[in-house]
Structure 1
Amino acid sequence: MAVVRLAEAGSSDAESQAITIRPPATIAQYHKRAKRKQMPKSTMQHLDRDPNPAPE
Protein backbone atom coordinates (compact mmCIF):
# COMPACT_ATOMS: atom_id res chain seq x y z
CA MET A 1 0.00 0.00 0.00
CA ALA A 2 1.29 3.44 -0.89
CA VAL A 3 0.70 4.86 2.58
CA VAL A 4 2.96 2.23 4.13
CA ARG A 5 5.72 2.82 1.58
CA LEU A 6 5.52 6.57 2.15
CA ALA A 7 5.64 6.14 5.92
CA GLU A 8 8.63 3.80 5.71
CA ALA A 9 10.36 6.32 3.47
CA GLY A 10 9.95 8.98 6.18
CA SER A 11 7.17 11.14 4.77
CA SER A 12 5.09 13.17 7.18
CA ASP A 13 1.42 12.50 7.80
CA ALA A 14 0.49 15.59 5.78
CA GLU A 15 2.67 14.55 2.84
CA SER A 16 1.18 11.05 2.80
CA GLN A 17 -2.33 12.44 2.98
CA ALA A 18 -1.70 14.85 0.13
CA ILE A 19 -0.42 12.06 -2.11
CA THR A 20 -2.90 9.32 -1.24
CA ILE A 21 -6.01 11.36 -0.38
CA ARG A 22 -6.73 9.11 2.62
CA PRO A 23 -8.40 10.27 5.86
CA PRO A 24 -6.03 11.55 8.56
CA ALA A 25 -6.94 8.67 10.90
CA THR A 26 -5.94 6.11 8.27
CA ILE A 27 -2.64 7.89 7.61
CA ALA A 28 -1.87 8.02 11.34
CA GLN A 29 -2.61 4.32 11.73
CA TYR A 30 -0.24 3.29 8.95
CA HIS A 31 2.48 5.69 10.06
CA LYS A 32 2.26 4.27 13.59
CA ARG A 33 2.72 0.74 12.25
CA ALA A 34 5.67 1.80 10.12
CA LYS A 35 7.36 3.41 13.13
CA ARG A 36 6.90 0.22 15.15
CA LYS A 37 8.61 -1.76 12.39
CA GLN A 38 11.55 0.67 12.37
CA MET A 39 12.03 0.75 16.15
CA PRO A 40 14.07 -2.46 16.50
CA LYS A 41 16.47 -1.31 13.78
CA SER A 42 16.87 2.08 15.42
CA THR A 43 17.44 0.53 18.83
CA MET A 44 20.10 -1.81 17.50
CA GLN A 45 21.89 1.12 15.87
CA HIS A 46 22.02 2.87 19.24
CA LEU A 47 23.45 -0.23 20.88
CA ASP A 48 26.03 -0.60 18.12
CA ARG A 49 27.28 2.92 18.82
CA ASP A 50 27.85 2.23 22.54
CA PRO A 51 28.38 -1.46 23.22
CA ASN A 52 28.91 -0.82 26.97
CA PRO A 53 26.18 1.57 28.08
CA ALA A 54 26.32 2.83 31.65
CA PRO A 55 24.06 0.92 34.05
CA GLU A 56 20.98 2.74 35.20
Structure 2
Amino acid sequence: MNDEHKAHAESGTYAECVLCREPTEYPASRKGITLCPVCEWQEAQRNACSG
Protein backbone atom coordinates (compact mmCIF):
# COMPACT_ATOMS: atom_id res chain seq x y z
CA MET A 1 0.00 0.00 0.00
CA ASN A 2 1.53 3.35 -1.04
CA ASP A 3 1.48 6.54 1.03
CA GLU A 4 -1.53 7.97 -0.84
CA HIS A 5 -3.64 4.89 -0.08
CA LYS A 6 -2.50 4.89 3.56
CA ALA A 7 -3.55 8.51 3.98
CA HIS A 8 -6.93 7.78 2.44
CA ALA A 9 -7.47 4.70 4.60
CA GLU A 10 -6.73 6.75 7.70
CA SER A 11 -8.88 9.76 6.83
CA GLY A 12 -11.68 8.05 4.90
CA THR A 13 -12.50 11.22 2.94
CA TYR A 14 -12.50 11.53 -0.82
CA ALA A 15 -11.45 14.52 -2.89
CA GLU A 16 -14.14 16.29 -4.92
CA CYS A 17 -14.09 16.23 -8.71
CA VAL A 18 -13.09 19.69 -9.94
CA LEU A 19 -15.69 19.54 -12.73
CA CYS A 20 -18.86 18.06 -11.21
CA ARG A 21 -18.11 18.02 -7.44
CA GLU A 22 -18.81 14.27 -7.16
CA PRO A 23 -16.51 12.19 -4.92
CA THR A 24 -13.44 10.81 -6.65
CA GLU A 25 -11.38 7.68 -6.02
CA TYR A 26 -8.62 9.85 -4.55
CA PRO A 27 -8.07 10.89 -0.93
CA ALA A 28 -8.88 14.48 0.00
CA SER A 29 -5.22 15.00 0.85
CA ARG A 30 -4.13 14.43 -2.77
CA LYS A 31 -2.64 17.50 -4.38
CA GLY A 32 -3.51 18.62 -7.89
CA ILE A 33 -6.57 18.28 -10.09
CA THR A 34 -8.86 15.39 -9.19
CA LEU A 35 -11.56 14.01 -11.46
CA CYS A 36 -14.27 11.45 -10.77
CA PRO A 37 -14.23 8.32 -12.96
CA VAL A 38 -16.92 9.72 -15.30
CA CYS A 39 -15.19 13.07 -15.87
CA GLU A 40 -11.82 11.31 -16.16
CA TRP A 41 -13.22 9.11 -18.94
CA GLN A 42 -14.85 12.06 -20.72
CA GLU A 43 -11.61 14.04 -20.56
CA ALA A 44 -9.69 11.09 -22.03
CA GLN A 45 -12.21 10.88 -24.88
CA ARG A 46 -11.84 14.60 -25.64
CA ASN A 47 -8.05 14.32 -25.66
CA ALA A 48 -8.08 11.20 -27.85
CA CYS A 49 -10.32 12.84 -30.45
CA SER A 50 -8.53 16.20 -30.55
CA GLY A 51 -5.51 14.74 -32.24
Same fold (TM over 0.5): no
Higher strand share: 2
- Structure with the bigger RCO (C-alpha within 8 Å, sep 6+) is 1
TM-score (norm 1): 0.30
